[in-house]
């Protein structure tokens, strides 16, 4: 029990530091680590993988709320954008969460591997989105929102990896793009986690499960992430972010290969 608690704390702290340092969603760390932990506890793979995804989304209800408050206090959140794009990603998150429960654990792990691998390769290339030089507004939000929400909820991430370049290309500054993408992470987490909570797993879940959400993991990882994120932000001002982003991109590709295998 103590070892499990310490491992959950370590997952939360690692996800929090990386989120603050590199601006990535903690789900890219939480899902593979929590999958391995649940498998080690002899939880069936068809339960372990979707439960890791669901628990990752549930932790974001805590971490995304703090991020939204942080950006709101600095006046970087554009509420009309959130009303449009947020509603779209929420609809997509319901679809993505439902789809995750219909796939086998092996297939869902491979879907995660493909998406994480593509994100990792993009980080290795250090490709930065170029501003479009147009009036800032979420064009085609009714199409992009559901697609981003579905892909994000399917693999347990907050959607910032997709939403930041989308918003930058639609005229938003990088700061406002990050702020609004962070805010849109909350409706993804809420709609996705609620869907996962209402859908029972196909096999026996570990104690403390609410549908597909593992509540002990949610609480411990979420608190660890909130505690560690400020340290990541502080490191971001001292360490070479581009070099670190490439290193983590390589690590993410390796993790994606392992998840696919």
pLDDT averaged over the chain? Answer: 87
Domain of residue 219, residue span? 2-260
**Where does 7-72 show beta strands of DSSP type E?**
none
For residue 173, what is the DSSP state?
A: -
pLDDT greater than 90 at residue 149? yes
At 194, list the tokens. Answer: 């609620």
Q: Distance (Å, rounded) from C-alpha 52 to C-alpha 197?
A: 13
Residue 63 — pLDDT band, cuts 50, 70, 90?
A: confident
- What's the pLDDT score for residue 241? 62
Q: Residues 37-45: what's their mean pLDDT?
A: 92
**What pLDDT digit, counting tens, does each position of 89-131 carry?**
999 999 999 999 999 999 999 999 999 998 888 878 866 666 6
Residue 132 — pLDDT band, cuts 50, 70, 90?
A: low
- Which residues in 59-84 are b (16+ Cβ under 10 Å) and which e? bbbbbbbebbebbeeeebbbeebbeb
Q: Distance (Å, rounded) from C-alpha 158 to C-alpha 168?
A: 17
For residue 213, what is the DSSP state?
A: E
Closest CA to 105 of 6, 249, 201: 201
- What's the pLDDT score for residue 126? 67
- What's the pLDDT score for residue 239? 72
Identify the three-state secondary structure at position 134: coil
pLDDT greater than 90 at residue 146? yes
Question: Which stretches of 41-140 are DSSP H helices?
Answer: 45-73, 79-102, 105-125
Q: Distance (Å, rounded) from C-alpha 189 to C-alpha 192?
A: 5
Check: CB of residue 43 under 8 Å from CB of residue 55: no
Residue 30 — pLDDT band, cuts 50, 70, 90?
A: very high
Identify the three-state secondary structure at position 96: helix
Check: CB of residue 178 under 8 Å from CB of residue 192: no
**What pLDDT digit, counting tens, does each position of 185-238 carry?**
899 999 999 999 999 998 888 889 999 999 999 999 999 988 887 787 677 667
- Phi-psi domain of 12 (left: phi exceeds 0; alpha: psi -120 through 50; beta: other): alpha
Number of domains forming the structure of the chain: 1
Check: CB of residue 214 under 8 Å from CB of residue 205: yes
Q: Distance (Å, rounded) from C-alpha 207 to C-alpha 193?
A: 18
At 13, list the tokens. Answer: 């702290």
Q: Residues 32-51: what's their mean pLDDT?
A: 94
């Amino acid at each position: 029990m103590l070892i499990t608690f310490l491992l959950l704390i370590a997952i939360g702290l690692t996800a929090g530091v990386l989120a603050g340092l590199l601006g990535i969603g903690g789900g890219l760390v939480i899902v593979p680590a929590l999958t391995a932990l649940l498998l080690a506890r002899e939880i069936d793979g068809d339960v372990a993988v979707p439960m890791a995804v669901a628990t990752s989304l549930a932790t974001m209800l805590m971490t995304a709320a703090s991020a939204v408050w942080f950006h709101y206090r600095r006046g970087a959140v554009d509420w009309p954008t959130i009303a449009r794009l947020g509603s779209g990603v929420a609809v997509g998150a319901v679809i993505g969460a439902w789809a995750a429960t219909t796939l086998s654990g092996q297939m869902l792990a491979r879907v995660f591997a493909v998406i994480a691998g593509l994100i990792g390769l993009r980080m290795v290339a250090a490709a930065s989105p170029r501003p479009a030089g147009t009036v800032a507004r979420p064009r085609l939000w009714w199409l992009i929102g559901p697609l981003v929400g579905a892909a994000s909820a399917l693999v347990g991430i907050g959607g910032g990896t997709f939403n930041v370049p989308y918003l930058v290309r639609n005229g938003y500054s990088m700061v406002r793009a990050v702020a609004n993408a962070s805010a849109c992470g909350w409706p993804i987490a809420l709609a996705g986690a609620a869907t996962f909570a209402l859908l029972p797993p196909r096999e026996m879940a570990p104690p403390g499960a609410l549908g597909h959400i593992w509540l002990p993991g949610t609480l411990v990882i979420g608190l660890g992430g909130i505690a560690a994120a400020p340290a990541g932000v502080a490191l971001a001002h001292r360490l070479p972010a581009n070099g670190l982003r490439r290193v983590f991109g390589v690590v993410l590709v390796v993790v994606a290969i392992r998840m696919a295998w």
